[in-house]
Amino acid sequence: MSVRYDVAIVGGGIVGLATAFRLLERRPKLRLVLLEKEHQLLLHQSTHNSGVVHAGLYYAVGSRKARLCRDGKAELERFAAEHGIPIERCGKLVVAVDRAEAPGLEALAKRATANGVPGLELVGPERIAEIEPHVAGVAGLLSPTTAIVDFGAVGHAYADEVRARGGDILLACRVDAIERRAAGAGEELLLRWADGEVRAGAVISCAGLWSDRVAAMTGHAGHERVVPFRGDYLRLRPEARRLVRALIYPVNDPRFPFLGIHLTRRMDGEVWAGPNAALAFAREGYRRTDIVPRELAETLADRGFLRLAFRFWQAGAAEMVRDVWKPAFAAQVRRYLPELRDEDLEPGPSGVRAQSVRLNGELVDDFSIGGSGRILHVRNAPSPAATASLAIGRELAELAERRFDLG
Ligand SMILES: Cc1cc2nc3c(=O)[nH]c(=O)nc-3n(C[C@H](O)[C@H](O)[C@H](O)COP(=O)(O)OP(=O)(O)OC[C@H]3O[C@@H](n4cnc5c(N)ncnc54)[C@H](O)[C@@H]3O)c2cc1C
């Protein structure tokens, strides 16, 4: 007979781990298991990202993203201080390179103000030169509280909390079926993987790039599909790092949830340029040459993706050019950092974003959580979900307490 838990969480990324931590914090007696398909925790989005603790500039006012990013940043800063994880409030500058971009920057400043981002400053060229001496722009928006952190260290600290509070974390368990079964007067769920199974009173899925697949296992397929967008980074050579003090971003295109190729100083002193946003040819396709024909065919046959591709083919084609041709990538950065030369950039790592797309071709903008009965699915948790992880975890824990009888 398999072991029975009150709650099973699928996915050992930063969102699953934060949710497990928040649940055990509220319910110390809860029997909880977290199932991760890899041999290690935190191998996907949670450790393949820009490492930026976002202040919440971009998100639609009143959205889950806006609220949970603001709350999550404060909760993360507290958690990091309590656990000795370094976090650096280096600040971020968004740069309008010409007059045509100034309205976009002003609209961003308005939105950021409405979202309650503290300390914002709209600046001109002189102040830009003080903040980032090598940046060229006609105007800028400074967010002094934006920070950087190592999200891997944060995620492992969540895992330590889960284990210390009696939660079980099982690795190498790729859940491939979730079945409902009668149990006494009620129901329980059986989660199976290749060589094992557990029973649980309730399930919370935080499966990132596979969230739609896990949702389909419980009959919650819905009309949203995950489209994997690869983002490559290039590293600045050590001699070129002097060009960047902190975080430098272009004015974003509000039609897309991606923020444009930016420059990010990392906790270890490296500076990365990126990420771009090209279609990945596999859900975990970190390299251009990683192709899983079945996964690619599914994406290309998906009506939502086709509508998206048809609407934005020009932007998509430009991204694919930047993807294969370094000078085009470098030219994008040179718009606001003119001294950067092609040879200052070396190959760097990549990440793959789990971005949900609706049947009508719209990119799902907000964090989305669905499910019914004793099952909850995190369906869309792209950036800034690492920043917001503790707040997302708290929200899921509250929802679980309301929906499931946790005893
Ligand atoms: C390029 C890039 C840059 C980003 N930059 C930032 C940033 O600067 N700041 C920020 O806040 N956010 C950023 N993000 C977003 C952030 O990294 C993600 O939103 C966050 O990591 C999502 O966490 P997650 O736990 O949902 O997903 P993941 O980290 O992908 O974890 C999901 C886990 O579920 C597991 N899993 C999947 N299916 C199963 C199954 N069937 N059985 C068992 N386990 C399963 C996977 O193996 C994985 O470990 C960025 C993302 C990318 C890709």
Tens-digit pLDDT profile for residues 137-178:
999 999 999 999 999 999 999 999 999 999 999 999 999 999
Q: CA-to-CA distance for 251 and 179, rounded, in angstroms?
A: 47
- Domain assignment of residue 239, yes or no: yes
Residues 330 and 369 in one domain: no
Distance CA 370, CA 204 (A): 10
Predicted confidence (pLDDT) per residue in 83-116, tens digit: 999 999 999 999 999 999 999 999 999 999 999 9
Question: Distance between CA atoms of 396 and 393, rounded to whole angstroms?
Answer: 5
* CA atoms of 50 and 323, how far apart (whole Å): 17
Cα 12 to ligand 1 centroid, rounded to whole Å: 9
User: Residues 209, 256: one domain?
Assistant: no
269 pLDDT above the threshold of 80: yes
In a domain, 103, yes or no: yes
Q: Whose CA is nearest to atom 26 of ligand 1?
A: 208
Q: Are residues 255 and 322 in the same domain?
A: yes
In a domain, 328, yes or no: yes
pTM above 0.85, yes or no: yes
3-state DSSP call for residue 18? helix
217 and 248 co-located in one domain: no
User: Are 201 and 311 in a shared domain?
Assistant: no
Do 261 and 288 belong together in one domain? yes
Tell me: pLDDT of 319 over 80. no
With cut-offs at 50, 70 and 90, classify the pLDDT of residue 39. Answer: very high
Answer whether residue 258 is part of any domain.
Answer: yes
Which domain does 28 fall in, by range? 4-46+152-223+365-403
* Residue 200 confidence class, pLDDT cut points 50, 70, 90: very high
pLDDT reported for residue 222: 85
Q: Which residues neighbour 349 within 8 Å (Cβ) at sequence distance 6 or greater?
A: 48, 233, 286
Out of 104, 126, 143, pick the residue that ends a domain: 143
Whether residue 60 is contained in a domain is answered as no
Whether 349 and 234 map to the same domain: the answer is yes
Confirm whether 270 is domain-assigned.
yes
- Rounded to an integer, the average pLDDT of 279-299 is 93
Q: For residue 6, what pLDDT is reported?
A: 97
Q: What is the pLDDT of residues 220-234, one digit of tens each?
A: 888 899 999 999 999
Judged against a pLDDT cut of 80, whether residue 321 lies above it is answered with no
Pocket (CB within 6 angstroms of ligand 1)? 10-16, 35-38, 43-46, 48-52, 54, 174-175, 206-210, 214, 231, 275, 351-353, 381-387
Q: Are residues 195 and 240 in the same domain?
A: no
Mean of pLDDT values over 6-33: 98
Cα(129) to centroid of ligand 1, in Å?
Answer: 36
Structure tokens at 200: 């649980």
List the structure tokens of 16: 């699953």
Confidence of residue 327 (pLDDT cuts 50, 70, 90): confident
For the domain that residue 197 is a member of, what is the CATH number? Answer: 3.50.50.60
Q: What mean pLDDT, rounded, does the chain reach?
A: 95
Question: Would you state the pLDDT for residue 272?
Answer: 98
Instruction: Based on the fold, state whether residues 300 and 341 are members of the same structural domain.
Output: yes
Higher-scoring residue by pLDDT: 327, 335: 335
Last residue of a domain, one of 112, 143, 174: 143
Residues 161 and 42 in one domain: yes
CATH of the domain at 292: 3.30.9
Same domain, 39 and 182: yes
Ligand 1 atom index nearest CA of 50: 8
- Let me know if residue 288 belongs to a domain: yes
* 8 Å CB contact between 212 and 379: yes
Which of the two residues, 239 and 222, has the higher pLDDT score? 239
- With respect to residue 84, please indicate whether it lies within any of the assigned structural domains: no
pLDDT of res. 328: 87
According to the model, what pLDDT value does residue 253 have? Answer: 84
Q: Are 366 and 64 in contact (CB under 8 A)?
A: yes
Q: Whose CA is nearest to atom 31 of ligand 1?
A: 13
Domain identity same for 234 and 330: yes
As for how many domains the chain has, the answer is 3
